[in-house]
Structures are given as structure tokens and as C-alpha cells.
Amino acid sequence: MDVLRPPLININGRIYRRNVVQEEQYEDEEEDFSYMGTPVSEEFEAEETCDAHLIEQTERGFRCAIDVPTVLYKYIIGKKGETRKQLELDTKTSINIPKQGVEGQIVVTGPHKAAVSSAITRMEVLIENFRKKQPFTHFLSFPLNDPKIHKGFLKFKDDVLEQCSQDHGLDESIFQNPAKLHLTVGTLTLLDDSEIKKACEHLQNCQNFIRDITGGKPLPLQVAGIEYMNDDPAMVDVLYAKVNVTDGSDKLQVIADHLVEYFVSVGQMTQEWDRVKLHATVINTLFRKDTTVEEASGSGRHGKNEREAFDARNILKTFGAYHFGELDLNTVSLSQRYSADCTGYYASAGSISFS
């Protein structure tokens, strides 16, 4: 690690440095949430004191209550309560966490305001680290659930299966559901109703700048051409359709990049790339293995080593310039992963329009 460029953590728009320490490895990570031998005060260094929460003065000292998704309580408690005990010892505070299954706030009390502030900050950094290990629950996207695009996709699917069915790894199950075609902007991990509500409010805040870019009108979009994600066209996992605004502008790209920038700034999204790669997945080998039914039954996601690639060389040669259709794009949607509404598209938690 470059000591002059330590890892940064964005928590509610505030930036903290994370001091990397040697961590012990446990056989079952899900059952051990201790500080792994390192005191809190040595593991993290805050760039600033906690000022995002109201710290109230009481007759006995100071008090602060914060909202934390119940699924993350266990990370603050730790195995046999060791994490909470260490936090309380290091900051000389008392941390009250609601019992399992009980909704409520985590309350920190202490004799000094600085101690309460320190405990809150360190809890937030700890929570953010474990939050990153949770699978994403929602995503921002531009839906492509348009009848013309559906028709074009189904013809593409039929033609490919008819002409390339003998190619290695290709079968009907790895094609996208046409009702779920979309352009992913970014993914979010929203762990309770409060976080979902905040994300919807943040999305609403983006409407003005989107309308400034589009002039309050839908964007005419063309879906045409296919490309693959891997380096080897004979071993492909994801095949996607390319998209362009028909007036030749970069408005859609600008909107996507601004959305990610905003959601990163409020701490609800992680910046992965300099710019969003706009694409519409049409074939994905994960569909062959990872299904909602398997997830619901508890069988879980198959490992990546079980993912079977397919040979896309003939598809690229024959259908490389395939025209799926055109549509007037008018919506940004916050959707829930692994769910569908009555139209067959992912169930929407919220959306905004360009016009």
C-alpha cells in the first residue's frame, strides 16, 4: 500500500482514511465480527469529528442516537459481544443496541461529547467495511422495456439459436428476458426501508439536472450492434447490445456519469470506473446457473469456477451489426434485484422522467 495514498471510505458524504492493518483470518468469517486483535483507535483514523449526527447534552453527559440497518447489528456487537466491548472500552462510552428482531436506534452515551463523537465515527467506519461485503440489492438503470426493442430482441434470439445452436456453450437459457432489458447505471446496497426511501429522495434530486441536459424531452435511442466483455471471443460470458443517441450527442453518457457522481457523493454508491459503460446485456452465462428459484430455495449462487462460457465467434460474425430497434428513452429507474412487477420488468422502488 502507498502510505501517502491510503484507502478512503465515504460515509454519508464524509471521507475517512482507513489505516490498513494485519488481520487475523478466521475459518468462519460470518461468525466472528471482533476487531481481530487491533484496538479501534489504531485501526482507523478519522479525517474529522462526527458532525452528521445530533449529539445532545443530558444530565449525565452526552447522548447520540443513529439509525443502523438491523442486519448490521451483529457486526457492531461482534462474537460474544467483543466488538462492542472494545468500542466502549476505547471510547469510554456505553453503546445500547436493540435486541434481535427489534426495530430502533443504536444509542451511544458518554461523559464527554468528543467520546460519543469518536464512538459514532468508528461504528460508521466499521459498518461501512462490512456493508461492502453485502450483495447489492438495487440498481439504477435506463429501462429498455419497449415493444419495438422486445420484438427486435426476440428475433435476434430466434435467429441466433437457429444459426449458431451448435456453438459451444450456447443454449436458450443464457439469453436475457426481453422484459428485463436495461442499461445499468450503477448498483446500490440498501438494507432497510429507510435506506430505500433515502435513495428514492436522492433520485428525485437528480431530476432537475437531467431535464437541463435533455431539455425536458425524451432521448431518441438506437439499440444496434453487439459486443462482448471478455478478451477471447471463443470464451465469452457476457454479450451485450450497444446503444447510441440518434442525434449523435453524448447526453445519455453525461446523465449516467452525473447520476453515479451524485450517488457516490451521498455515500450510496461506490465509484468503480471513471465513466459508466452503457450496454444492454442480451446473453449472460450467469443466467444458466444463477436463478431466483435457486436463491429462494437456499441452494445459493454457483461459484464462478462453475460458470460455463460460450463461443461467440459465429454470433459476432453473423450478427455483429444487428439492429434491435429504436425507442424514446424517458426514464431512470431505481429497481430491486431479483424481483419483477406486473410488466415483467424489475420491480421499481422509484423513478424519474426526462420530460
SS3 annotation, 138-155:
EEEEEECCCHHHHHHHHH
**Cα dist from 140 to 70, 186, 244, 247, 268, whole Å:** 24, 5, 19, 24, 11
Q: What is the number of residues in the chain?
A: 355
Residues 123 and 148 in one domain: no
**Is residue 282 within 8 Å of residue 155, measured between CB atoms?**
no
Give the distance from CA 20 to its chain's centroid: 24
85 phi and psi, to 5 degrees?
Answer: -60, -40
Residues 204 and 69 in one domain: no
Q: Which of 108, 131, 154 is the last residue of a domain?
A: 131
Task: Say which amino acid occupies 156.
Answer: F
Which residues on neighbouring strands pair with residue 221, listed in sequence order? 245, 327
Residues 301 and 171 in one domain: yes
Task: Say which amino acid occupies 120.
Answer: I
| Residue 121 located in a structural domain | yes
Residue reference for cell 430497434: 325
Quote the CA–CA distance of 339 and 347 in Å, as a whole number: 6
Residue reference for cell 468508528: 122
**pLDDT tens-place values along the chain, 355 residues long:** 455 555 555 555 555 555 544 433 333 333 333 333 333 333 434 434 556 788 999 999 999 999 999 889 999 999 999 999 999 999 999 999 998 777 789 999 999 999 999 999 999 988 888 888 889 999 999 999 899 999 999 999 999 999 999 999 999 999 999 999 999 999 999 999 999 999 999 999 999 999 999 999 999 999 999 999 989 999 999 999 999 999 999 999 999 999 999 999 998 998 888 899 999 999 999 998 644 433 333 333 444 457 899 999 999 999 999 999 999 999 999 999 988 888 889 999 999 999 8
**Cα dist from 264 to 127, 162, 271, 273, 325, whole Å:** 17, 44, 6, 12, 33
| Residue 1 located in a structural domain | no
| Residue 2 located in a structural domain | no
Quote the CA–CA distance of 343 and 146 in Å, as a whole number: 11
| Residue 332 located in a structural domain | yes
Residues 203 and 104 in one domain: no
**Is residue 106 within 8 Å of residue 97, measured between CB atoms?**
yes
Residues 124 and 143 in one domain: no
pLDDT of residue 2: 56
| Residue 239 located in a structural domain | yes
Residues 43 and 172 in one domain: no
Q: Which of 103, 131, 159 is the last residue of a domain?
A: 131
Q: Which of 131, 165, 198 is the last residue of a domain?
A: 131
How many domains does the chain contain in total?
2
Quote the CA–CA distance of 338 and 343 in Å, as a whole number: 14
pTM: 0.76
pLDDT of residue 108: 97
Residues 105 and 216 in one domain: no
Task: Say which amino acid occupies 42.
Answer: E
CATH of the domain at 104: 3.30.1370.10
Which of these, 218, 78, 93, lies nearest to 143 by C-alpha position? 218
pLDDT of residue 13: 54
pLDDT of residue 112: 94
pLDDT of residue 79: 92
**Is residue 144 within 8 Å of residue 280, measured between CB atoms?**
yes
**Cα dist from 352 to 202, 213, 216, 291, whole Å:** 11, 14, 12, 29
In 3-state terms, what secondary structure has residue 299?
A: coil
| Residue 343 located in a structural domain | yes
Domain of residue 198, residue span: 138-353
CATH of the domain at 243: 3.90.1140.10
Quote the CA–CA distance of 91 and 86 in Å, as a whole number: 8
Residues 227 and 333 in one domain: yes
Residues sharing a CB contact under 8 Å with residue 6, sequence separation 6 or more, in sequence order: 17, 18, 19, 20
Residues 114 and 262 in one domain: no
Which 8-state DSSP code applies to residue 315? H
**Is residue 355 within 8 Å of residue 211, measured between CB atoms?**
yes
**Is residue 9 within 8 Å of residue 125, measured between CB atoms?**
yes
